[in-house]
Amino acid sequence: MPSLATLRAFAQAVESNDHVGAIERFYAPDAAIRENDDPPIRGREALAERERRLLATVAGVKTTRLGPLLYDGDHAAIRWRFEFTASDGSVRAMEEIAWQTWRGEQLIEEHFFYDRRTPGKPSRKDAASGVEP
């Protein structure tokens, strides 16, 4: 079970847009991320590299936590809003819920839930595959 201090530090890293650093510091070596119904991606190094690729497709991203950290034992949930700025200056936004499972102080599984069909809102999958949001 993570401490509240760990959860706060994780959220602060993500909110400061240190997305790759958050993966490197808080995820277990065998961590997995799953988006909606997609198959999971496994391994901290693969997850960090995927995040680097996603961030390379945009000029910038603003991350905002919407609401409190919700947690119970080894589980936590965070509601996020991401505003992606494209190279042409246009901004698109998406909101997601991140459902997390922790093992002690390390994140071992994260499942993102968001609507890919909402017009004008990019998906992490599109950004990670090189399609500019």
pLDDT of 31-62, one tens digit each?
999 999 999 999 999 999 999 999 999 999 99
Q: Is residue 86 part of a domain?
A: yes
Domain hosting residue 71, numbered range: 4-128
102 domain residue, yes or no: yes
Residue 133 lies in a domain: no
Average pLDDT score, the chain: 90
Q: Is 65 contained in some domain?
A: yes
In a domain, 120, yes or no: yes
Considering only CA atoms, which of 102, 29, 47, 30 is closest in space to residue 70? 102
Number of domains in the chain: 1
What pLDDT does residue 130 have? 45
Residue 35 sits in a domain whose CATH number is: 3.10.450.50
